[in-house]
């Protein structure tokens, strides 16, 4: 069952972002494969024919791809906004762990 309008955590948002990206890639691929009619002739004497026609409505597919792209942008903006104001409670940044190397004196 699909849910709409529910609030999610940053962790859930990152997982949802991956799901949206995968679905978007699938639909883009489907749209590209489905966008044109194609007739292929093959066989020794080019006597066999294979006709490929679009199965899905290309306008509907394109609209869905656009909607998913917009949703991904909105989600990405929301994640970035949340990250700007969220501090990690159990971690303190320590630059000294990066270390500093000194060349040996000759």
pLDDT confidence bin for 3, thresholds 50/70/90? low
Q: Which domain holds residue 43?
A: 10-83
- How would you class 93 by CB atoms within 10 Å of its CB: exposed for 0-12, middle for 13-18, buried for 19 or more? exposed
Q: What is the pLDDT of residue 1?
A: 41
Q: How far apart are CA 75 and CA 13, in angstroms?
A: 7
Task: Give the residue from 33, 13, 11 showing the smallest Cα distance to 21.
Answer: 13
User: How distant, in Å, are the alpha carbons of 3, 17, 20, 95 from that of 75?
Assistant: 16, 7, 10, 31
Domain count, the chain: 1
Query: Global pTM?
Result: 0.69
Determine, yes or no, domain membership for 65: yes
Residue 19, in any domain of the structure: yes
Q: Per mean pLDDT, which range of 28-37, 41-50, 85-94 is the poorest?
A: 41-50
pLDDT at 20: 96
Residue 101, domain member (yes or no): no
For residues 44 and 91, what is the distance between their CA atoms, to the nearest angstrom? 70
The model's pLDDT over 51-77, given as tens digits with 9 standing for 90+, comes to 888 888 889 999 999 999 999 999 999
Q: How long, in residues, is the chain?
A: 106
């Amino acid at each position: 069952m699909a849910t709409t309008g529910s609030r999610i955590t940053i962790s859930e948002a990152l997982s949802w972002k991956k799901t949206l990206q995968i679905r978007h890639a699938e639909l883009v691929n489907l749209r590209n494969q489905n966008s044109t009619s194609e007739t292929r002739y093959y066989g020794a004497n080019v006597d066999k024919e294979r006709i490929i026609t679009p199965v899905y409505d290309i306008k509907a597919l394109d609209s869905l791809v656009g909607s998913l792209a917009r949703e991904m942008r909105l989600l990405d903006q929301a994640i970035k906004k949340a990250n700007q104001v969220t501090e990690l409670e159990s971690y303190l940044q320590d630059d000294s762990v990066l270390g500093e190397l000194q060349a040996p004196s000759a």
